[in-house]
Structure 1
Amino acid sequence: MAALRPATSDVNQVSLRVLKSSLASLHLPMCGPGRIWEDSHLKGVGVASSTCRCRAADPRNAMRSPMSPGLAPPTYRRTGRRAGIVHLGFGGFHRAHQAAYLDDLAHLEDLSDWAIVGAELRDDQRRMHEVMGAQEHLYTLVLKHPDGTWQPRTIGSVAGHLHAPDDPEALLRLLAAPTTRIVTLTITEGGYGIDPATNDFDPSDPDMRADLAGGGPPRSALGFLAVALARRRVARIAPFTVLSCDNIQGNGDTARSALTAFAAVRDPESAAWIEANVAFPNAMVDRITPTTSEADRLELITRFGIRDRWPVFAEPFRQWIIEDHFPTGRPGLERVGVQFVPDVRPYEQMKLRLLNAGHQVIAYSGVLAGYRFVHEAAADPELAGQLSRYLDEAIPTIEPLPGIDLDDYARTILERFANPELADTLERICAFGSDRIQTFVLPVIRARLDDGVAATEAIAAVAAWARYIRTRPDLVDRRRDDLLRAAAGLDDDPSRFLSTAGIFDELAVDPRFLAAFADALNRSRP
């Protein structure tokens, strides 16, 4: 399923190694059958040293650990580690992607200075904190292969977890500590407060607005980063590198713009220091990671006897390409397939306009057609044809990449979407559609129209999104109320949706876009 042709460039060789490392065999046991691993918990700042030990498992505590007689803890030493990486937004993607890469590397070299500490910023994510603590910060990653094979492994690269609403000062102390050298982010497009169309800082998130107003501890990711970096500046501690792992083109540039604009409101001197001293490398990330279902968790028990309260499931494919700019150092992730390049933008563009936008193309139409899962929609000849035609539209808008066959990459996307084992829900992809349509689909439409050619399937995806909104009074989107109002009169006046949704900008008055949007709405009328 490799998207790249073998033996034609360094890029291809790295990508092939990525796929091979994704299929790494299970870890060898360290503890004997019926025994579980004990490790230290995070103590305020960093990870406290303690003596590791094995102890007999108590059947009454079967849900405390992902360990089972058939799946042992990692074989590397997990005690005495320092928190070199703090991750904000500790969700499934981070656990299936970045943490898995670090786990691979920990089996090859000493990463005692590069332990991960995860942090949740939202109060409704308390359960993740509780689960990670109960399981000694271990969890199970299961790779789901298209042939029905499940490949479980235990991830041990996470050394601690914080729930920021409970103790924001603990997270600030950790971020300000000299041992923290990289802060990674998966906070979604809306977490940066940057308008994708204008690139202006325009925060709509309530937590971000509260942080800008001041008067209390931070609540948003930008708030925590700004305060922690201000403390490091005063203490003359070198700043950490900010590494965004969100699906945003130029995610490092976006993080820089957002954080400096945020800091400038509160402390212009700190903003200038951030601009001059903090590194924000761009990165491209890729691994389809569906939401973990209760059925998945129970099937994990049935197949392997693994009792994990919050396992994570993913496809075998993974990719991570990063600009190599880490002034205070980084782990040697190139050993496990991460590619470090001078400029990641062409790779981002390829992924965002083909994979991520492809998800948007099939998601809303799939839900409207009555499907629940991505693989179901991908098996529908009409929807699969729509996706294939969209990919044909999008490929000419992408800058050429030496050694990469974009047609092969597009075929790989069709194969990945068709993987029935992932059971990736369409609703997961439909959530926060305003951010995703802006970031993934509209750039393709603009590029096509600028070239004087039609963007039929891309615009049809926008029309399907508009119709989807009308069916979802419980819409999951940061612009929920505005979108529901705008979509109410969709059939009477399509232009009203485009002008009031607040995301289309010049496209809302482009007669070519308006005509194609109205035509797509008519063709999709129930």
Structure 2
Amino acid sequence: MTSPTILHLSPGAFHRAHQAVYAEALIRAGHPEAGIRDICLFPPLIGAAHAAQGGVYHVLLRDQTREDLLRITAIREVLDRPHPDMLCDPALRLVTMTLTEKGYCHVPGTDRLDPAAVAQDLADPQHPRTALGWLALALVRRRAAGLPGITLASCDNIPVNGRLLEAVLTAYVAEAFPDLLDWMAANVTFPVSMVDRIVPRVDAAAAESIAALAGAPDALGVVAEPFGQWVIEDRFALPIPPLDKVGVQIVADVAPYERMKHRILNGAQTAIAHLGALSGFATSFDAASDPVMGAWLERFCAAQARTLACPPGEDLAAYCRATMERLRNPHIRHPLTQIGTDSSFKLGQRIVEAAEHHLEGPEARLYALTIAAWMRYNTGRDAAGRPIPVEDPLAPVFRDIDLAAGGDPSALVAGYLRLDLFEGPLRQNELFRRRLVALCAALETRKPRDIILASLNHAEAEEELC
């Protein structure tokens, strides 16, 4: 069998439903070199399960209209707690990783290395405990073996993920292996990538469906939506398998694609999390499938699209339609309170920046309701006084704002607008501020859905129109 040219760090469910599916398609198109060797740096360790299944697992793709079972053999080997010499395979061309944001050992919201997160590795660089420490030591071994450079591609859902990886790994290497810096700068590349596929947790019913279709239980089987996208910057140290032949978009600049995803898909998710939860819906599917909330969300997506330059090869209107279809997938029911987690990190990029494009237009009311719902949500109670679990780094700040406001919606809005994420023209716009105050007052006793429905029936005062 052809030696794998792709090495992947941390083969979780997303990797098995995303990168490995593209590799499988490429292998079936006649490129056996697209095989993957997976390494588990941390639990869960799945090497034994992978070997027991003969290197085979399944991906169940399903939505409103289809259900397809894919048989995946692209992952040739899974190694638990591998040696750093794994980067010394001459066949290796591409290293991908899904570490989750915490795995980058950075100060949240920055690309600075967190010294506390790597303190043990810096004290003993030959026995690393973090992915950064492992990669640095593996690069040291690769250079010592006289091999060429390598591409390290983050596939985590983090903005400009390649730049983050490059920054933190460079900072770590500067401390642990300073003589590697020049070689790394000249020979290692860190392309930015944008990945997209919703991969819900495999519950008992989903596991039964996979087993029934596959003919046997599958310990590594995953469920995913049919939609998938992988955009990666054309910045490779060595030639890689021709992933572009199976739909991977290799582009000069990933930023327009990231903005499209963050504004339209992620922006819609953030908006519906707060509006939907305050309206009494439990999941993204429930809210997006409601005729009133769904119509509002379609309008919101269209407004978000108008703030974007269309990326090459894309169709923003089609992307909006696909977003709505994805949110209405009955097999994907994300809890709205989970989507609303850490929203202070997300609101600025996804919604506030877009709102600034619409401050003087008719869609300003749309954004005023979105942001007012976010403010009301973060008081920790809905219109009926029921508690809302606010899980956010700024939760203590939100509580202080609410207490200081003392029930005055004008003071509440003023407190929120002082947050750094509102720095800019939105904070200075008096008409938008008045709309926020009126809507925050309305949301004390009314659900967002009721306000939206009334506005559709032209029964509300101008300042409450959404």
Q: TM-score range by the shorter chain?
A: 0.7 to 0.9
Q: Deviations over 1:400-449 (max 9, x none)?
A: 33564323321221122112133444455445545544654454356667
8 Å Cα contact 1:117/1:160 also seen in 2: yes
How far apart are the structure 1 equivalents of 2:15 and 2:358? 33
Contact 1:174 1:180 in 2 (8 A): no
Cα gap change, 1:331/1:193 in structure 2, threshold over 3 Å: closer, same or farther?
same
Task: Name the counterpart of 1:399.
Answer: 309
State the AA in 2 paired with 1:275.
A
Q: Does 1:106 align with 2:27?
A: yes
Structure 1, unmatched stretches of 5+, are 1-79
CA distance in 1 between counterparts of 2:40 and 2:135 reads: 14
Contact preservation (8 Å) 1:390, 1:457? no
Q: Shift of residue 136 of structure 1?
A: 3.0
SS at 2:5 equivalent: strand
Q: Which amino acid aligns with 2:39?
A: A
**Does residue 87 of structure 2 align to residue 175 of structure 1?**
yes
Q: Deviations over 1:484-516 (max 9, x none)?
A: 43343352245777878xx73846994559877
2:18 corresponds to 1:97: yes
**TM-score, with structure 1 as normaliser:** 0.70
Task: Give the C-alpha shift of residue 391 in structure 1.
Answer: 2.1
Which residue matches 2:234? 324
Q: Is the 8 A contact 1:118 1:161 kept in 2?
A: yes
Q: What is the distance in 1 between the residues matched to 2:170 and 2:54?
A: 36
Aligned pair partner of 2:49 in 122, 131, 149: 131
What's the counterpart of residue 192 of structure 1?
A: 104
* RMSD over equivalenced CA pairs, Å: 3.6
The residue correspondences of 1:395-474 to structure 2 (distance < 5 A) are 395-401=305-311, 404-426=314-336, 429-431=339-341, 433=343, 435-437=345-347, 440-441=350-351, 443-445=353-355, 454=364, 455-456=367-368, 459-460=371-372, 462-463=374-375, 466-467=378-379, 471-472=388-389
Please give the residue correspondences for 1:77-476 in structure 2 after superposition, counting only pairs within 5 Å: 80-111=1-32, 113-123=33-43, 125-126=44-45, 128-147=46-65, 149-163=66-80, 167=81, 170-193=82-105, 199-203=110-114, 207-212=117-122, 214=124, 217-302=127-212, 305-401=215-311, 404-426=314-336, 429-431=339-341, 433=343, 435-437=345-347, 440-441=350-351, 443-445=353-355, 454=364, 455-456=367-368, 459-460=371-372, 462-463=374-375, 466-467=378-379, 471-472=388-389, 475=391
| Letter aligned with residue 399 of structure 1 | A
Q: 1:379 Cα shift?
A: 1.3
Is 1:491 equivalent to 2:402 in the alignment?
yes
Q: Cα gap change, 1:399/1:93 in structure 2, threshold over 3 Å: closer, same or farther?
A: same
Distance 2:310 2:286 in 1: 32
3-state SS of 2:301 partner: helix
Deviation string for 1:465-491 (max 9, x for gaps)? 635697337x4xxxx6x4443343352
| Alpha-carbon separation, structure 2, partners of 1:251 and 1:320 | 13
TM-score (norm 2): 0.78
Specify the code of the residue in structure 2 equivalent to 1:416: R
Distance in 2 between the 1:245 and 1:130 partners? 24
Whole-Å separation in 1 of the counterparts to 2:134 and 2:417: 35
Q: CA 1:103–1:386 in 2, change beyond 3 Å: closer, same or farther?
A: same
Instruction: Classify the secondary structure of the residue corresponding to 2:271.
Output: helix
> Cα distance 1:403–1:114, how it changes in 2: closer, same or farther (>3 A)?
closer
Identity of aligned residues (%): 33
Structure 1 residues 365 and 191: CA distance shift in structure 2, 3 A? farther
The change in CA–CA distance for 1:274 and 1:357 in structure 2 (over 3 A counts) is: farther
SS of the residue 1:397 aligns to: coil
Quickly say closer, same or farther: Cα 1:89–1:385, change in 2 above 3 A. farther
Q: Is the 8 A contact 2:355 2:426 kept in 1?
A: no
- Contact kept? 2:379, 2:402, Cα under 8 Å: no
Distance 1:498 1:130, change over 3 A: farther
Would you say the 8 A contact 2:36–2:77 is kept in 1?
A: yes
Note closer, same or farther for the CA distance 1:237–1:417 as it changes in structure 2 (3 Å cut): same
Name the structure, 1 or 2, with higher relative contact order (CA <8 Å, separation 6+): 1
Task: Give the CA deviation at 1:81.
Answer: 4.1
User: 1:104 Cα deviation (Å)?
Assistant: 1.0
Using the alignment, how far apart are the partners of 1:386 and 1:91 within structure 2? Answer: 35
Q: Deviations over 1:157-187 (max 9, x none)?
A: 1122233xxx3xx242213433332111222
Question: Does the 8 A contact of 1:394 with 1:444 survive in 2?
Answer: yes
Residues 175 and 498 of structure 1: CA distance in aligned 2, closer, same or farther (over 3 Å)? farther
Equivalent pair of 2:125/2:176 in contact (CA under 8 Å): no
Aligned partner letter, 2:5: G
Cα distance change, pair 449–194 in 1 and its aligned pair in 2 (3 A): farther
Q: Is the 8 A contact 1:121 1:221 kept in 2?
A: yes
From the superposition, tell whether residues 432 and 238 of structure 1 become closer, same or farther in structure 2 (CA, over 3 Å): farther
How many Å apart are 1:122 and its aligned residue?
A: 3.4
> Are residues 110 and 402 of structure 1, via their aligned partners in 2, closer, same or farther at CA, if it must alter by over 3 Å?
closer
Per-residue deviation, residues 81-130 of structure 1 (Å, max 9, x unmatched): 4242221232222111110011111112142x44212233334x24x445
Distance in 1 (alpha carbons) for counterparts of 2:444 and 2:233: 45
Note if contact 1:196-1:438 (Cα within 8 Å) is conserved in structure 2: no
Which letter maps to 1:313?
V
Task: Check 1:374–1:341 CA distance in 2 against 1; reply closer, same or farther (3 A cut).
Answer: same
Secondary structure of 2:22's counterpart equals: helix
CA separation in 2, counterparts of 1:523 and 1:89?
Answer: 47
